Amino acid sequence: MIRNQSIYIGPTYKGLIQHQVFYNGIPESVYRLLQEVGPVQRLLIPVHLLPTIRKKMRMAGTQEYNAYQTMQAGKAQINDEGVNHVMSSSYYDTPVPNKQYNSAGDVINPADSYDPDGIQKVRVTGAAAQTVTLQDAATAAGNGTPFSPEDSNYTLTFEITGTSASRTVLFELAGPSGQYIPVTAFSVTDPTKYGPQSTGGSNTAPESWQVEVPAGYLFRARIGAVAGGNVTVKGKAVT
């Protein structure tokens, strides 16, 4: 649902920037693009669906693949899919301070109603992005510090930097057994790049990756090899 947190993963188009993230709705200008340009609908997605949609973007013939190729080639046209039936603009409204959503998805005024205990019926919950450090200026191979969400599934976006001349960083996930296995992460900047590890890289060209980490699991960015400097892996995790 775009109402919560969404990300645009297509090429930059008419003020809509690639990898732009929206919280609690989208601007009216973006809503108009959704009405007018079919491929934009395929490429503006809920953050939690990012790994799934990225896979589809790499599969020739899928709607997501075709949408990205159309946008990348600069061939997107107004109403090129006859898209004029998307949900009403109120669904996409960016909330103002006196607007909140109830569990049915309706925009309501927080002062409309209160429980017998004096607490308003709509109780806003949520947490800011959590800072995660997986490796901190490491100069030798090692496991680093794992990330372990306990209360909810998280999307972890992390960056690999450092002064090393060469490095190998392995992406691994451990379940209840505690045994780590390779897990696929997805490049944030290149939709064709994904895998269970990263090699090479430099501090002048940091790499950004994204991975889904289920509640109760452990994720780590293990350094398999490093030479000529250090490696740092830090990121942000959101529910």
Instruction: Specify the pLDDT at position 173.
Output: 92
16, 54, 77, 139 from 9: Cα distances, Å = 10, 9, 18, 34
Instruction: Specify the pLDDT at position 156.
Output: 92
- Taking each continuous run of H as one helix and of E as one strand, the counts in the chain are 5, 15
Of 75, 67, 81, residue with least CA distance to 8: 67
Instruction: Specify the pLDDT at position 52.
Output: 84
DSSP secondary structure of 76-141? --TTTT----PPPHHHHPPPPTT-EE-TTS-EE-TTS-B-TTS-BS------PPEEEEEEEEE-S-
Report DSSP state, residue 91.
H
- Considering the entire predicted model, what is its pTM? 0.53
Residues of the chain with pLDDT under 50: 1-3, 80, 82-99, 101, 110-114, 120, 122-126
Instruction: Specify the pLDDT at position 136.
Output: 96
For 99, the token pair is 């607007």
Helix (H) or strand (E) holding 20: none
Instruction: Specify the pLDDT at position 2.
Output: 41
Please write the tens of the pLDDT for every residue from 119-148. Answer: 545 444 445 688 999 999 999 999 999 999
